């Protein structure tokens, strides 16, 4: 069996213009001081990382790895969650998602999509230069506004949306395959790939592409009331990345899954720091270990209540305490009889 690596931390929620969160060197020093041994890098944040440079320059990629290594850290994955979101955007969201793109493509959906595709492809090349085998992203969404529609969806709308999503992603997946990098889609409400069924709809359209894989984050499944442990049983072969994020779901007579347009702190379903929510992480780590998940456990800190620095500090120890040191022997080996083939045949009564 393989042993899960960690603890690691996704830097996106912590990067800012204030030290120590305003440069890759200083944020790595901070993460290491908390006990982390890996960092997941948000590829869009120029304060920490130059994506184009990493895609085109082995020297720069080695420099970034060297900065992390000086602090005892490995780079776990690059993330293009924001750029991946822009690979497919329904027009209803054009204005709000424009902020994820560079100014020169805002207000131009076609140019924005082309920019986003180039960004994800660049992150794949950068991942290879950094020696990474998986890349974290979102799928984007064309059909999401019709998830619970009124009036009824026009016939064929969902099918055409997923056909188009597959058309946009297939060249990216082929690019990933050429560079030996898995695309790990974070299955997330707001994305067309938001549960197992929608992932399978997409997977069918990309002909079960071997690079169309998964980032496992159980918090999104608690908020959907999806069985997050059964999900591992079903999709373990496709899980290539793992976000450790907790959540809780406390429905009332006034609100449930949809949340009634409330703030995060007032929603029935809300994200919490690891250990403060309802997820059975002992079972999660056990199942992932059972299925030989040998990659990273990465804290993605999001909590409606707790201060982020407290969540980060507690998260390192939380992950460390949940990683299972795998056994090299069976617990009942002490009772082994050291039998041979002849003995086995005798026990079975085979002459």
Place of tokens 């407290």: 310
Rounded to two decimals, the pTM is: 0.94
Under 8 Å between Cβ of 297 and 6:
yes
Sign of CA dihedral 83, 85, 87, 92: negative
Where does 5-347 sit in CATH, by number? 3.20.20.150
Could you please report the per-residue DSSP string of 194-236?
Answer: -SHHHHHHHHHHTTT-TTEEEEE-THHHHHHT--HHHHHHHHG
d(CA 183, CA 203): 12
Peptide bond into 24 cis (omega under 30): no
Locate 332 and state its tokens. 């009942």
Asked if residue 242 lies in contact with residue 288, where contact means CB atoms within 8 angstroms, the answer is yes
Q: Where are the domains of the chain?
A: 5-347
81's CB contacts (< 8 A; 6+ apart) are 12, 42, 136, 137, 138, 186
Q: What does the pLDDT profile of the chain (351 residues) look like in tens digits? A: 899 999 999 999 999 999 999 999 999 999 999 999 999 999 999 999 999 999 999 999 999 999 999 999 999 999 999 999 999 999 999 999 999 999 999 999 999 999 999 999 999 999 999 999 999 999 999 999 999 999 999 999 999 999 999 999 999 999 999 999 999 999 999 999 999 999 999 999 999 999 999 999 999 999 999 999 999 999 999 999 999 999 999 999 999 999 999 999 999 999 999 999 999 999 999 999 999 999 999 999 999 999 999 999 999 999 999 999 998 776 666 566 677 888 888 888 997
Show the DSSP H helices in the chain as ranges: 24-33, 51-56, 58-70, 81-85, 94-97, 109-129, 157-178, 196-205, 219-224, 228-235, 281-290, 308-322, 341-347
């Amino acid at each position: 069996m393989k042993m899960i690596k960690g603890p690691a931390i996704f830097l996106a929620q912590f990067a800012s213009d204030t030290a120590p969160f305003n440069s890759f060197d200083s944020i790595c020093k901070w993460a290491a001081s908390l006990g982390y041994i890996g960092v997941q890098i948000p590829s869009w944040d120029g304060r920490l990382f130059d994506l184009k440079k990493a895609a085109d320059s082995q020297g720069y990629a080695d420099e970034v790895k060297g900065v992390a290594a000086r602090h005892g850290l490995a780079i776990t994955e690059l993330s293009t969650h924001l750029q991946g979101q822009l690979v497919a955007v329904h027009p209803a969201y054009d204005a709000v998602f424009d902020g994820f793109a560079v100014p020169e493509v805002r207000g131009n959906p076609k140019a924005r999509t082309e920019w986003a595709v180039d960004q994800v492809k660049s992150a794949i090349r950068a991942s290879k230069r950094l020696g990474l085998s998986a890349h974290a992203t979102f799928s984007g969404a064309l059909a999401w506004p019709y998830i619970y529609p009124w009036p009824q969806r026009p016939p064929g709308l969902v099918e055409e949306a997923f056909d188009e999503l597959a058309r946009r992603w297939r060249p990216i997946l082929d690019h990933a395959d050429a560079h030996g990098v898995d695309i790990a889609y974070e299955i997330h409400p707001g994305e067309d790939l938001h549960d197992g069924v929608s992932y399978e709809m997409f997977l069918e359209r990309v002909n079960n592409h071997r690079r169309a894989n998964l980032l496992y984050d159980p918090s999104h499944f608690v908020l959907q009331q999806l069985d997050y442990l059964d999900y591992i049983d079903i999709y373990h072969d496709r899980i290539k990345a793992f976000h450790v994020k907790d959540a809780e779901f406390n429905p009332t007579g006034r609100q449930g899954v949809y949340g009634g347009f409330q703030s995060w702190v007032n929603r029935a379903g809300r994200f919490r720091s690891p250990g403060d929510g309802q997820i059975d992480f002992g079972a999660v780590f056990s199942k992932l270990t059972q299925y030989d998940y040998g990659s990273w456990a990465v804290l993605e800190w999001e909590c409606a209540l707790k201060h982020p620095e407290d969540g980060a500090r507690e998260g390192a120890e939380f992950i460390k305490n949940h990683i299972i040191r795998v056994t090299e022997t069976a617990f009942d080996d002490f009772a082994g009889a050291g039998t041979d083939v002849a003995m086995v045949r005798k026990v079975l009564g085979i002459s």
